[in-house]
Amino acid sequence: MVRDNINDLLAFLAVARERSFTKAASKIGISQSALSHTIRNLEKRLGVRLLTRTTRVVSPTEAGEKLLLGIGPHFDEIEIQLDALNELKDTPSGTIRINAPDYAISCVLWPKLQDFISTYPDIKVEVMLDNGLSDIVTERYDAGVRMGEQLAKDMISARISADFRFAVVGSVSYFEKHSQPQEPQDLISHTCINYRFPTSGGLYTWEFEEAGREIKIRVDGQLTFNNIFYVLDAALAGHGLAYVPEEIAQPYLEKGELVRVLEKWSPYWDGFYLYYPNRHHSSPAFRALTEALRYRD
């Protein structure tokens, strides 16, 4: 009975953790209808309802939550022990799932991952765009990428980028119609492109520094995005001033398509870190990835 239920239990864990038949089916590589059929058969055999289904949400019942908490850690431990067998292989292998914000993916992860995947062909890397502050344990990621000031205290971390600054930029066409701001407070009278945090839903308050004093400016404008590259695109199109990481603005500054202002007020921020729970420390594949991403002066 138990042996026959193994695959069905894994299917249940996927749905219960993802809270979605669609996401779970994609994760384990079967059709949504086949997954629903599997769960119905499991519930029939066990004689209890495990999941509550609505048009928008799938959630465990009381019995389902008890089963999830009871068997989930055991299957996780089996997975860890199987991963540990990679120590005996000639080359590291396995799949590593990472979530990271848009800018970190483009400017930090991707340049280093290109060499890494060539060096380690048996390691698969899934990089998921996440501009929020998702819980990587709950979402079952192996690691996440955050700025230093955003790191959770109970995580292990490794620096993967240098400190960086933001830049206030606008197009040439914008400044043909508007004077350049001379100090941060001048931004109040300018059309600016806002960035909205996906997690809190709040708008980013532009942050500056003068003689060790922090200055925060709430800007206004017609456009708001939750992706920093769309903010940059809008600035390039002349729709207002943007506050973006200087690395993504630099190519357009060099070509003369953007003009930078207020540079002396822009502070440096702690760089990006790869962070992860302690249980991944023993995986050869994960150690190889961490070393490949690690920032070196």
Pairing mode, strands 242-245 and 164-171:
antiparallel
Under 8 Å between Cβ of 86 and 284: yes
Return phi, psi of residue 36, to 5°: -60, -40
Q: What is the pLDDT of residues 155-195, one digit of tens each?
A: 889 999 999 999 999 999 999 999 999 999 999 999 999 99
Same domain membership, residue 188 and residue 154: no
CATH number at residue 239: 3.40.190.290
Domain limit, last residue, from 21, 52, 85:
85
- Amino acid at position 71, single letter: I
The answer to pTM > 0.85 is: no
Same domain, 251 and 207: yes
pLDDT band of residue 145 (cuts 50, 70, 90) is very high
Asked if 145 and 278 sit in the same domain, the reply is: yes
Domain count for the chain, please give it.
Answer: 3
Whether the CB-CB separation of 280 and 286 falls below 8 Å is answered with yes
CATH of residue 71's domain is 1.10.10.10
Whether residues 107 and 136 fall in one domain: yes
pLDDT at 76: 78
Mean pLDDT for 125-143 is 86
Give yes or no: residues 156 and 283 share one domain.
Answer: yes
Last residue of a domain, one of 54, 85, 116: 85
What Å distances lie between residue 83 and 14, 31, 193, 263, CA to CA? 19, 27, 46, 48
Number of neighbours of residue 25 by Cβ within 10 angstroms: 21
Written as six digits, the tokens of 50 are 């495990």
Does the pLDDT at position 142 exceed 70?
Answer: yes
229-243 pLDDT per residue, tens: 999 999 999 999 999
Q: The domain that contains 275 carries what CATH number?
A: 3.40.190.10
Same domain? For 106 and 251 the reply is no
The dihedral region occupied by 238, where left means phi > 0, alpha psi between -120 and 50, and beta the remainder, is: left
What does the pLDDT read at residue 71? 87
Closest to 280 measured CA to CA, from 272, 267, 290: 290
Residues 55, 195, single domain; the answer is no
Rounded CA separation 248/25 (Å): 36
pLDDT digits (tens, 9 = 90+) for 229-288: 999 999 999 999 999 999 999 999 999 999 999 999 999 999 999 998 865 456 788 889
Mean model confidence pLDDT for the chain: 89
Cβ atoms 236, 255 nearer than 8 A? no
Whether 176 and 264 share a structural domain = yes
Same-domain pairing of 147 and 181: no
The pLDDT value given to residue 84: 67
Residue where a domain stops, chosen among 85, 112, 146: 85
255 and 194 fall within a common domain: yes
Residues spanned by the domain of 229: 164-269
